[in-house]
Amino acid sequence: MPNIKQIAEAAGVSVSTVSRVLNNHPYVREDKRKAVEAAIERLQYSRNMNAVHLVKGATQTIGVILPQINNAYFGKVVEGIGQQALQVNYQLMLFQTGYRANEERKALRMLRDKIVDGLIIISRSLSLNQIEKYAKYGPITLCEEVRGRALSCVYFDHYTSFQKALTYLWDKGHRRIGYTINRRNSASSAVRHKAYLNTLASLGGESREAWIFDNCLHLEDGAKLLQHIRTMDDPPSALLITGDQVAAGLMIAAQNQGVRIPEELAIIGLDNQPISKLLGITTIDNRLNEIGAKAFSIIYRHIHEQTDEAIIQELGFKIIERSSV
Amino acid sequence: MPNIKQIAEAAGVSVSTVSRVLNNHPYVREDKRKAVEAAIERLQYSRNMNAVHLVKGATQTIGVILPQINNAYFGKVVEGIGQQALQVNYQLMLFQTGYRANEERKALRMLRDKIVDGLIIISRSLSLNQIEKYAKYGPITLCEEVRGRALSCVYFDHYTSFQKALTYLWDKGHRRIGYTINRRNSASSAVRHKAYLNTLASLGGESREAWIFDNCLHLEDGAKLLQHIRTMDDPPSALLITGDQVAAGLMIAAQNQGVRIPEELAIIGLDNQPISKLLGITTIDNRLNEIGAKAFSIIYRHIHEQTDEAIIQELGFKIIERSSV
DNA sequence: CTGTTAGCGCCTTCAC
DNA sequence: GTGAAGGCGCTAACAG
């Protein structure tokens, strides 16, 4: 494969001239430009972008850290990132970490090693301290609330959304309210737990450890959850389920087993996935697509405006009433 | 940020020695190695991988062309690719094309421009002729049957699976059998259509244009489909649905509207997604994860064994009987 | 075992 | 407008 030098020779100009037409610089005489373009066409030239990346010190690529690609929640966020990236001709490099610290670290190193110009972390297991160490190598944006650090973020308010949802259930007459999460020790879990305790306390209601269920991420987890709840002596009458996949799994299992929703168990989901609409599940729209889009925009601003200070952005949410409560 | 030269100075050795320890070459005296490592640590050195990519002519990255990330079908395949890539420390670059020819072309150019070492095409709209032009720049593997070209592929047999599924429905007593697809003019659609016509002909059954439904890809499409079928004068009694998402959407809509499956309408899905299990949908397991994994392995072989000739690999499938037929 | 040196392919001052 | 030349950071002969 020819390089820029050979094109220069073929076109009878210097490499700088070739470079100029390659980069659409002005000040190139029309006939030379034509000659270069002809040579490029004739020799089937294509730029080796690695050389460009080296000399420019940037790759127009941003990395995305996520536990798994094949998941409705992460999928929606990545989609948002991708749509935005497309607009400005950036590429996406996906790091499927499975929440393994080691894989997350590998991705962080990609930033340090200049393989990506920035990093979006959709979900993580590494500590913020660990992550912050890499902030000096390039912009990092998390999809969760982070303050007082060299890290930007977009998020929606877990606390208030929980509060609103719990109150909603309370107003509908529920007095035994529980909730589900995925990982016990995630950032959002702590916030949610606090919201749960505080809200119920202020409503004068009861909160119980036994009404909190973890490891709920996939459809199947919802089905298992229902199974479990049916064996409980004093089951919750309503559940705040953090993820429509799980809510859907529970809903379908309930239909299969003749458990009436909401009469026997009321549920409210999260993420506003298509399936919740089909199943009539009341849910919270947390604008996942926009979270992804915003995350990208923030990275982009960091790169192009040299703004070093963290950008913090909160996105709103909305309860979508359907018939599962 | 320091470069290799500065590390060399700091450690009192030459750049080659630094390069050697960086790349775990043998033949480096222990004390020098230590000195280099110390300097790296002290100066917080990290390699600029773009330089490595340039000099090596490879990036350890492979590109994946897919219409959209947020989709159960593509998600499963990408997951498979990713798992395999992880094993050998390759990165994945995702190109979300939305079936736009222009976006697909952009991705192809990434191969030409050496940004990726190979390309996996999960689904496409560009012609094979167009794609084959880029094969000279690096290995390309499609997730569909392709023969007689400079393109490798992994696929499962649409024809036989259709045949088997149709026969299955026939044996269950169905005589008015239809099917769904996504895009009319996709590669698989032609094959499926032929399988449909041939199989029913050989069974002595009837095939009808009106029993073929297109634009079926998402959950919602399944719901719409049911709607549509209910307005038909002479609806099919059984449907071969190419995608469990669509099948699930139809199933849920049916439950909502009190349409009995399989009594009033039998369905058989495809992809063996988790949701089909929960809903009791009979489906075809086409091993999407493995398709992804194999696709990566093929690319990897091309890269490391210099095998230029196309690798063609067929994966089996299996009907999973549940209760929707 | 180790250092010197010539690239990898491109961009970008700087003079003309 | 245009070309010469230095440099981006690293690897891999080659010579010792």
Which residues contact residue B193 at a Cβ distance below 8 angstroms, ignoring those fewer than 6 apart? B212
Q: How confident is the model at residue B265 (pLDDT cuts 50, 70, 90)?
A: very high
Instruction: Answer yes or no: is pLDDT of A1 > 90.
Output: no
CA distance A70 to A208: 33
Chain A and chain B share a number of CB contacts under 8 A equal to: 133
- pLDDT tens-digit readout, A243-257: 999 999 999 999 999
Section B39-56 average pLDDT: 94
Residues A69 and A78: beta-carbon distance below 8 Å: yes
A113–B220 CB contact, under 8 Å: no
Section B314-323 average pLDDT: 97
Nucleotides of chain C in contact with protein CB (under 7 A) are 1-5, 7-13
Instruction: Give me the phi and psi of B212, to 5 degrees please.
Output: -110, 125
Q: Could you tell me if A293 lies within 8 Å of chain B, comparing CB atoms?
A: no
User: Closest Cα partner for A217 from A253, A248, A190?
Assistant: A248
Let me know how long chain B is: 325
Instruction: Answer yes or no: is pLDDT of A307 > 90.
Output: no
Higher pLDDT, A130 or A1: A130
Residue whose CA lies closest to nucleotide C3 C1': B14
CA distance A232 to A265: 13
Using a CB-CB cut-off of 8 Å, the residues of chain B touching A92 are 93-94, 96
How much is the pLDDT for B269? 98
Q: Could you tell me if B324 lies within 8 Å of chain A, comparing CB atoms?
A: no
Residues A97 and A310: beta-carbon distance below 8 Å: no
Which residues contact residue A73 at a Cβ distance below 8 angstroms, ignoring those fewer than 6 apart? A243, A245, A271, A273, A288
3-state secondary structure chain B: CCCHHHHHHHHCCCHHHHHHHHCCCCCCCHHHHHHHHHHHHHHCCCCCHHHHHHHHCCCCEEEEEECCCCCHHHHHHHHHHHHHHHHCCCEEEEEECCCCHHHHHHHHHHHHCCCCCEEEECCCCCCHHHHHCCHHHCCEEECCCCCCCCCEEEEECHHHHHHHHHHHHHHCCCCCEEEECCCCCCHHHHHHHHHHHHHHHHHCCCCCHHHEECCCCCHHHHHHHHHHHHCCCCCCCEEEECCHHHHHHHHHHHHHHCCCCCCCCEEECCCCCHHHHHCCCCEEECCHHHHHHHHHHHHHHHHHHCCCCCCEEEECCEEECCCCC
- Cα dist. A277→A65, A167, A244, A324 in Å? 29, 22, 10, 11
- Hey, how many other C-beta atoms are within 10 angstroms of the C-beta on A234? 9
Instruction: Answer yes or no: is pLDDT of B306 > 80.
Output: no
Nucleotides of chain D in contact with protein CB (under 7 A) are 1-5, 7-13
How much is the pLDDT for B320? 98
Token pair belonging to B88: 């050998």
A256 three-state secondary structure: helix
| Gap from A261 CA to chain B (nearest CA, Å) | 13
Residue whose CA lies closest to nucleotide D3 C1': A14
Q: How confident is the model at residue A214 (pLDDT cuts 50, 70, 90)?
A: very high
How much is the pLDDT for A81? 97
Percentage of residues of chain A with pLDDT beyond 90: 96
Amino acid at A294: K
How much is the pLDDT for B260? 97
- pLDDT tens-digit readout, A92-136: 999 999 999 999 999 999 999 999 999 999 999 999 999 999 999
How much is the pLDDT for B187? 86
Q: Could you tell me if B49 lies within 8 Å of chain A, comparing CB atoms?
A: yes
Evaluated on CA atoms A79, A84, A89, A90, the torsion sign reads negative
Angle at B118 between CA B115 and CA B119, to 5 degrees: 100
Output the distance from B137 CA to C11 C1' rounded to whole Å: 24
- Hey, how many other C-beta atoms are within 10 angstroms of the C-beta on B138? 20
A146-155, B26-35, B198-207: the lowest-pLDDT one:
B26-35
- pLDDT tens-digit readout, B211-253: 999 999 999 999 999 999 999 999 999 999 999 999 999 999 9
CA distance B219 to B197: 27
Residue of A nearest to B83 (CA): A96
What pairs with residue A155 in β-bridges? A314
Q: How confident is the model at residue B257 (pLDDT cuts 50, 70, 90)?
A: very high
Output the distance from A23 CA to C7 C1' rounded to whole Å: 24
Residues B106 and B94: beta-carbon distance below 8 Å: no
Instruction: Answer yes or no: is pLDDT of A306 > 80.
Output: no
Using a CB-CB cut-off of 8 Å, the residues of chain B touching A40 are none
How much is the pLDDT for A169? 97
CA distance A221 to A251: 11
- pLDDT tens-digit readout, B119-155: 999 999 999 999 999 999 999 999 999 999 999 999 9
A92–B93 CB contact, under 8 Å: yes
Residue with tokens 């850290």: A65
- Hey, how many other C-beta atoms are within 10 angstroms of the C-beta on B128? 16
Residues B151 and B180: beta-carbon distance below 8 Å: no
| Gap from B130 CA to chain A (nearest CA, Å) | 15
Residues B98 and B67: beta-carbon distance below 8 Å: yes
Instruction: Answer yes or no: is pLDDT of B164 > 90.
Output: yes
Domains of chain B: 4-47 (1.10.260.40), 60-156+288-317 (3.40.50.2300), 158-285 (3.40.50.2300)
Section B287-316 average pLDDT: 94
- pLDDT tens-digit readout, A62-71: 999 999 999 9
What's this model's pTM, rounded to 2 decimal places? Answer: 0.94
B172 Cβ within 7 A of any nucleic strand C atom? no
Instruction: Give the distance, in angstroms, between the CA of residue A52 and the centroid of all CA atoms in the same chain.
Output: 29
Q: How confident is the model at residue A287 (pLDDT cuts 50, 70, 90)?
A: very high
How much is the pLDDT for B26? 86
Mean pLDDT, chain A, as a whole number?
95
Orientation angle between helical segments A72-87 and A244-257, nearest 10 degrees? 140
Q: Could you tell me if B287 lies within 8 Å of chain A, comparing CB atoms?
A: no
A202 three-state secondary structure: helix
Max mean pLDDT among A3-12, A179-188, B288-297 falls in: B288-297
Sheet containing B61-66: order of strands = A312-315, A152-156, A140-142, A118-121, A61-66, A91-96, B91-96, B61-66, B118-121, B140-142, B152-156, B312-315
Question: Cis peptide before B2, with omega less than 30 degrees from 0?
Answer: no
| Gap from A139 CA to chain B (nearest CA, Å) | 16
Mean pLDDT, chain B, as a whole number?
95
How much is the pLDDT for B27? 86
Residue of A nearest to B136 (CA): A1
- Cα dist. A294→A115, A189, B126, B296 in Å? 22, 23, 31, 32
Q: Which of B46, B93, B280 is opposite residue A93, by nearest beta carbon?
A: B93
CA distance B266 to A95: 40
Token pair belonging to A262: 């909401």
A321 three-state secondary structure: coil
